[in-house]
Structures are given as structure tokens and as C-alpha cells.
Structure 1
Amino acid sequence: AAVLKLAEWPTFAQSGNPLLDPMCGSGTLVLEAALMAADWAPGLLRRGFGFEAWRHHDRKVWFELALEAKKRKQAGLARMPQLLGYDSDGTAIRTALEARDRLGLAKQVHFERRDLDRFEVPDSATGLVVANPPYGERLGTSTHLMPLYAHLGTQLKRYCGGWRAGVLTSDPELGHALGMRADQQDKLFNGAIPCVLYGFAIHQNSEAKLASSSTDTNGASRSIASGPEQMFVNRLHKNLRRLKKWREQQDIHCFRAYDADLREYNVAVDLYEDWAVLQEYQAPDSVDTTKAQQRLRAVVTSLPEALGISPSRVILKVRARQGRSFRYTAETENRQFLEVREGDLRFLVNFTDTIDTGLFLDHRLTRQWLRERARGQRFLNLFGYTGTASVAAAKGGASATTTVDLSPRFLEWSDRNLALNGFHGNEHRLQRSDCLEWLKRGRGDYELIFLDPPTFSHSKRAHDFAVQRDHLELIRLTMQRLAPEGVLLFTNHFRQFKLEPELLDEFAVENLHPHTVPKDFSRTPKVHWAWAFRHR
């Protein structure tokens, strides 16, 4: 009720102007707005009150007051303005519909499952949009929501000229991501969470209504971006044109389109089919935090138009400078997967549950290298992650594959990737184990081994691991499992990595790094290291 009053809903309702909540959840704001517009007295549906048993309670006065309240409600319902609530969550909409029907407001309130891409407002010169979008409870945990807020702001400016909007959030950065200047800010509490209700007068903007992205003859989208961020958009388009022919020839659908090409825009943009994963590299201490955030907001806002994709298909992640971080750390448990293509291979990616997506794009040539050498070979994939290397080896004709990883989640993911490409049966084994321990107790040998350990890892079920510290022991143990004429491909992503010189004396070592970094990662040649090990 406080949000609606501060957003001036009673004034809009009295004038017969509509209300829209484009992210209504279970419909709380819309239903409260309906009760206010109907002049619906609080407690009117209650069957009785405790004060009715008081000794001096005047039943006649109470009856007249209750009757007046009911008449005012009926009159309010008769002049009720249009009220609409949209949400992309079908379960939330079902809950909203049930609450609406219990109140008897089926004729007055409309709820519909509809995401922001299908934003639609009533045909009215003015009205009120209210929204209480999701936000992180702790400052700094809401960065991944910036594309959502930028999308909301874009849709408001595009379709709601002449209207007013009120948006509640707990993070000022999310309020700024809307891309509109607030003329009102009211501090509120959502439970124990301090929030701000931002009020906006949305001006008529014919250019925004007509704005749309298109594709030029080189495959790059034109954009209406303006200001400093146009430099970012121009470089992105240049990269897309440069990579277009290569991608078509190689049948590449997932690739890096931008990799901190401009110092001012320290981000990476990876495209997965028609989805974009935007990674913000943590700015060095010398860069002003406010300016870095402003530039990130500009990129988030301009990227959908630049690529010609829906803002809902932009995923934002923040990466710290490399240190003692954990490459496979789980963030959430949404388990929402998207199938993507890599030539004739199919992989499942997940944009929300882990820091990475499940498919290392920089290992595209690595997978091809393994595939070309796999025919008739027994293949071992250590630190198997999501099993993409195992899929490549199986596709190359490996007689058997063994994938070892400590995480049951990633082994399940590996199994799904194998099945997606038609590989089933006992010849494709999945082993849950700490790789070092598995190597120490294991038997049998393999003609082709892929070893891609994390930079650092920590688990309650295994010893701490650091690739620089532990790779000597790890490679020696792995080479004990390599067949006499076999080959071990060792890679890692630690940019400061130095291979122990002792290994060069013990084994025949070939530096494959120049041959395994794909064209779209040419700006960051140290994205990974790669060596082939053979017995002397």
C-alpha cells in the first residue's frame, strides 16, 4: 500500500487511468491497487470482529457503517480502471489468479503469463507502472540482475511514454541500470531489507518506440547506441564482421565476440547461439569504481540492440582477477540447460548454476585435437568437468572413454552430454573420485589422456589443489597410466603457470599452446596452456 500511495496510484485511479505491473509475481501490488481503487475498506470480508462483543458496542451504528462500506465498494468496482499484471513465471501467475478469484475480482483484474519481451500496455495516454523486480539482498550480489533492469527500463521508455513508473529495489546500482532519471526517491523497508522506491515521469519518445536492431551485409547488427559506449558497439561489430566468414566455414555457433578490446570497456562477450554471456573483469584498483559501473551499465544497455537479441538473453557475470578462486563453484541450483552446437557435436550449457557455463570456448581446438587422435583408443578424461572432451573423443571413434571427476553434478552433466550425442553403454564410464587418489589406486592404461585440472580447488571430500604446486606429482602419476605409445594432453588456465623443468628431462614434451588457441581468443593467447607428453 505504501508503494502505491507514494507512486500516486489513488490519483491515477480517480481519473480512471490504468495500472500495470510487468513483473507482478503473485500479484500483491496489483490486487492491493484494486482494493484501493474500489474504495474497499480493510477487513470488509471478515465475518466478525472482537469489539462486537463489547458491552457498549452499538450494533446499529456498526451495521450502518458496514453497509456504507459495502455500497462504496460496489460503486468503486463499477468505476474500476484497468489493472493488469504480467510475469514470466507460470506458477506465480497461477497463485495470482487464485488470489484474485477469492476476492471476486475476475472481471476487474487481468493476470497473464508474459515476459518483458512481450511488453504491452493498455491504450491510454497516461497510466501507472509499478514493479518490485527481484534484487540481491546483499550489496554486490545483484550484479547479474543488471540486464533485467536495463531491459525493464528500455521497455518502459519504448512503450510507456506519458506514463509514470515506480520501481522498488534495494540496490542503487540496479536503479541506475534502468537508464532513467528518477524525479522521486522514497526510502522504504521490505521486511528487514532497506529499499528505495524510484519514481519516474516517462517522457514521450518516438525514437525509442521506433528503435529496432537490424543486420548489415557483414552479419553485424546496427544499433542506436550513442555516447561513449558507441566505441564498444563499433568494436563489437568490427569483430563480428572479421569472424563471420571463419565461423561459417568452421560451423561455429559459440564463440568469443569481444575480449576487453578497449581498455575503457573491460568485459568479455561470449555468444552461445542467440544468447550472450557478458563477463565483467574486475577493474584494477587504479580505475574509479563509479566510472567502471557506469561503463558496465552502458554496455548492458547497448548490447542487446548491438547484437539484435532480446535483453532477456543477456547473462551478466563478474570475474575477479585470478587468485585463489574455485573454477567450478556452484552459485545456484536452477538446473536450466540450453543445448548448443559445436560443428556436429551438441553440448548442454548452463548460464546460472556455476561460474562457468559448462563449455570452455577456448578449448574448441583442443577438443578437435583429441577427436582426431581418438579412433580405436582408450580415452581417459581427468577432472572431466562436463565431459565435453569425452564427447569429442567418442565422436572421433574412441573404443572406450572414462571420465573422472569428484562432483556428482558434473558427472551427471557429462552423462547427459554423452547421451545427447548418442553415446551410451558400459564403454563410456563415469568415475566419481578425487583424481589424484584415483590415479594412485587405479589399474589399466590408456592410449589417449586429457588432463585439464583447475587452477585452484577446495573440497571437503579431497585435499586442496593448486596446479602450479601440484602439477609435477599429478603428471607423473598420470604418465603411469599412459600406454607406451600413447599421448597425454595437459592443459590449464593459470596465466602465471610455469612447467617444472624436470618434466622436460623425464618425458618427451611438445608445446601445443600455439596450435590450440582459437582465432576468437587471439587477443588473450595466455587463455590456456597446452603440452603433449609422451614416453621417451
Structure 2
Amino acid sequence: MMTAAALPTFFEVLCARLAECNQEVRRVFHGRGRCYEGLDQLTADWLGNGVLQIAIFKESDSEFYAALQEGISALVASDVWTKCQGTTVILQHRDREGSETETLVGEMPSQIDVVENGLNYKLDLGKRQNNGLFLDMRLGRQWVQENAAGKRILNLFAYTCGFSVAAIEGGAEKVVNLDMAKSSLSRGRENHHLNQHDLSKVSFLGHELFKSWGKVKKFGPYDLVIIDPPSFQKGSFVLTKDYAKILRRLPELVSESGDVLACVNAPDVKPDFLTEQMKEQAPAFSYISRLENPPEFEDIDTDSALKVMHFKHKA
């Protein structure tokens, strides 16, 4: 249960992080990690360009909303808000139909170009639950950028192609993006255009993975395969059942000494799910390490947080 009495902690953390993040997109409060009592259904993201997006994941009482509004009024009158050039505060109700979003301060743009690690991404605001970039994967994209030079890369469940943008920026020879949502891949093209990338190095496959192995193999073998699926996608993917189907295909997709970045973002699925599944389905791949999560995504239980696991083909 969220409480109005806990909100001073929210604004204290928020102000401290706003003072540090300049104009890059960044999570500035993460209550979902259960590290802040009475605030576990509250997050805040600084999008740059003067925009702060607050999200509530579970309906609270009128006292909480009144205290939140009062705190926001104080925030926008503060030196912190002036120094970060803040103009807009929006509130997304993730618990309501269509993730209803309201504007509390200023005017909400329908789209916004944000910067992460010096790269540009286009986000949608007020239209859907997810705006186009998962901020907890920041260090994963950074790792890909740092390890992409000269490599052929397969990006499964590509969404808006954040990994692809990072890979091409890092010098990848070729990136193949696969996602059944063609609208997400279209946004991926836009993201590459925003960064002046050579799209002859990028392919976009708008297909369901399990019906498209032939198309995927055609561009291989790959030096790096990225697997970042949803936990559940009605009619197409159930993580605990379908992840194994991908892993057992890895030997025919990944070059000798190639890498796999396997990701899970389901709190109830622990890291050993991936290591055990890999041993069973693709024993030629050895576990190397788990990537760190961004420090701003603090979690009371690291096993419940995002899992990004690095494996290497030892065949």
C-alpha cells in the first residue's frame, strides 16, 4: 500500500537524481524494486527535453494523489527544476485502461527524441503502456555497443531495435532484427535514421520467430545472438515454456566462439532458470557472467530484477 507519508522520500531521491542526469534519459526513482516502503508502485523517468514522467502501477487513495500533486508543485518551483530546464510533468496510470496518461505541468508532446549513452531514440508519450525504450536495459545496450565491432548480430524480439542501434554505433558488420510487431520495427528504422546509420547493414524481419527459423538462419551464422523476449505474449510466447525452443537452436545459429546475451525480466523467474536451461538445451554454451543492472534500478532482491546473462559458444 502506498502512503502519502512516504512521498517526501520520493521527492528527495527524485531531486538528487535530477541534479545528476543532465539531458540524458534516466530512471530517477524506482519504487518497484521494493527498496522504499510505501512507494513500491511508483516510478519516475527523466526523459530530457524538460519532461518528467511519473508512473503509478496501482491505484492509491485521494490523500496520496493530493500529496503527490502538492509535492510536484513544490518541485517545479525549486532550483533543481530550473537547473534541469524542466517544463513538463506527466502522470501515467499503469493500472488503468489504456495506461491513461495525464499532464500535470506544462504540455505533453506526443513524441519525444531522447538521448541514452549519446545515442538517440524516439519515444511515444500518452499512447500506450510502453513508450519505446526499456531503461533498465541501459547497461545491456552499452555492453553490446562495446562488443559489436566487426560482428554479425541477431537481435530477437527486437522491439524498437535499441540493441541494433547500439550495435551499429559500435561497429557491427550486420544486424538482423526480428519482431512480429512490424510497427515496432518501423520505429527501429526511425531510431537508426536518428543516428545517421547505414541501413544497408541492418535487416528488419517482421515475423513470428517460431515460424521463421529458415529466414533467420539465412543471414547467419552470427557472432552474437541477443534474446530479450517478453515474459508473456498471448498466442505466441510463454517464457517458461518457449525459451527452451530458442536455446536448442543456438548451435546452428551461433558461430564458434560466438556469444549469446540471454535476458529475462520476470520477477518470479530466477537467474538459474537460464543457466539450467542452457545446460539442458545447448550444452556447448558456457555461462560467462551476469551483466550488472543500472544502479538507479535498485532492487531488494537482485534475483527478481532484470537478468541479462552472457554465454559463449565453446564448440
TM above 0.5, yes or no, is yes
5+ long unaligned stretches in structure 2 = 102-107
Report whether the alignment pairs 1:258 with 2:29: yes
Instruction: Determine whether 1:302 maps to 2:83.
Output: no
In structure 1, the partner of 2:227 is 451
Q: Equivalent of 2:121, from 339, 347, 350?
A: 347
Q: Deviations over 1:119-175 (max 9, x none)?
A: xxxxxxxxxxxxxxxxxxxxxxxxxxxxxxxxxxxxxxxxxxxxxxxxxxxxxxxxx
Give yes or no for the alignment of 1:531 onto 2:309.
yes
Aligned-pair distance for 1:357?
1.6
1:497 corresponds to: 269
Shift of 1:318: 3.0
Relative distance call for 1:478 and 1:304 in structure 2 (3 A) is farther
Q: 1:516 is paired with a residue of what secondary structure? A: coil
What corresponds to 2:180 in structure 1? 406
**Which of 487, 505, 516 is the aligned partner of 2:259?**
487
Give, in whole Å, the separation in 1 of the partners of 2:255 and 2:66.
53
In the alignment, is the contact (CA less than 8 A) between 1:448 and 1:488 conserved in 2? yes
**Are residues 335 and 483 of structure 1, via their aligned partners in 2, closer, same or farther at CA, if it must alter by over 3 Å?**
farther
Deviation for aligned residue 1:236: 2.7
Say which SS state the counterpart of residue 178 (structure 2) adopts. strand
**Structure with greater strand percent:** 2
Q: What is the one-letter code of the residue matched to 1:482?
A: V
TM-aligned CA distance change 1:464 to 1:442, over 3 Å: closer
2:68 partner letter = V
Distance across 2 between alignment mates of 1:494 and 1:227 = 30
1:215-294 to structure 2, matched below 5 A, reads 229-240=7-18, 244=20, 247=21, 253-260=24-31, 262-265=36-39, 266-273=41-48, 274-282=50-58, 289-290=60-61, 293-294=62-63
Residue 481 of structure 1 deviates from its aligned partner by 1.1
How far off its partner does 1:227 sit? 7.9
What RMSD over aligned residues (CA atoms) do the two structures have, in Å? Answer: 2.9
Matched residue type, 2:64: R
Report the counterpart of residue 239 of structure 2 in structure 1: 467
**Partner secondary structure for residue 154 of structure 2:** strand
- The Cα shift of 1:520 comes to 1.1
Are 2:155 and 2:178, in contact at CA under 8 Å, matched by a contact in 1? yes
How has the CA–CA distance of structure 1 residues 435 and 469 changed in structure 2, closer, same or farther, with 3 Å as cutoff?
Answer: same
Task: Considering Cα pairs closer than 8 Å and 6+ residues apart, tell me whether 1 or 2 has the greater RCO.
Answer: 2
> What are the within-5 Å matches in structure 2 for residues 193-204 of structure 1?
none
Determine which of 283, 286, 295 is the counterpart of 1:508: 286
- Asked if the contact 1:331/1:352 (under 8 Å) is kept, the reply is yes
Contact 2:289 2:311 in 1 (8 A): no
Task: Encode CA deviations 1:8-44: one digit per residue, 9 max, x unaligned.
Answer: xxxxxxxxxxxxxxxxxxxxxxxxxxxxxxxxxxxxx
CA drift of 1:264 comes to 2.5
Describe the superposition over 1:58-116 as per-residue Cα deviations: whole angstroms up to 9, x where unpaired: xxxxxxxxxxxxxxxxxxxxxxxxxxxxxxxxxxxxxxxxxxxxxxxxxxxxxxxxxxx
Cα distance change of structure 1 residues 483 and 231 upon mapping to structure 2, 3 Å threshold: closer
Q: TM-score, length-normalised on structure 1?
A: 0.48
Counterpart Cα distance in 2 of 1:427 and 1:237: 41
Is the 8 Å Cα contact of residues 299 and 305 (structure 2) preserved in structure 1?
Answer: no
Q: Relative to structure 1, is the Cα distance of residues 486 and 348 closer, same or farther in structure 2, using a 3 angstrom cutoff?
A: same
Gaps of 5+ in 1: 1-225, 284-288, 321-328
Q: For the structure 1 residues 384 and 337, does the alpha-carbon distance in structure 2 shift closer, same or farther, using more than 3 Å as the test?
A: same
Q: 1:517 aligns with which of 285, 290, 293?
A: 293
Where 2:115 maps in the other structure, the secondary structure is: strand
| Count of residues in correspondence between the two structures | 282
Give the Cα separation in 2 of the matches to 1:441 and 1:416: 23
Q: Deviations over 1:261-292 (max 9, x none)?
A: 53223311111112111111226xxxxx53xx
What is the CA–CA distance in structure 1 between the aligned matches of 2:99 and 2:178, rounded to whole Å? 19
Task: Look up the SS of the partner of 2:53 in the other structure.
Answer: strand
Change (3 A) 1:304 1:269: farther
| Cα distance in 2, alignment partners of residues 480 and 304 from structure 1 | 57
Is the 1:362–1:527 contact (alpha carbons within 8 Å) kept by the matching residues of 2? no
How far, CA to CA, are the matches of 2:258 and 2:109 in structure 1? 37
User: Amino acid of the residue matched to residue 247 of structure 2?
Assistant: I
3-state SS of 1:263 partner: coil
**CA-to-aligned-CA distance 1:299-318 (integer Å, 9 cap, x gap):** 24422542527997222223
Which has the greater radius of gyration? Answer: 1
Decide whether aligned partners of structure 1 residues 302 and 483 sit closer, same or farther in structure 2, where only a CA change above 3 A counts. same
Amino acid at match of 1:407: A
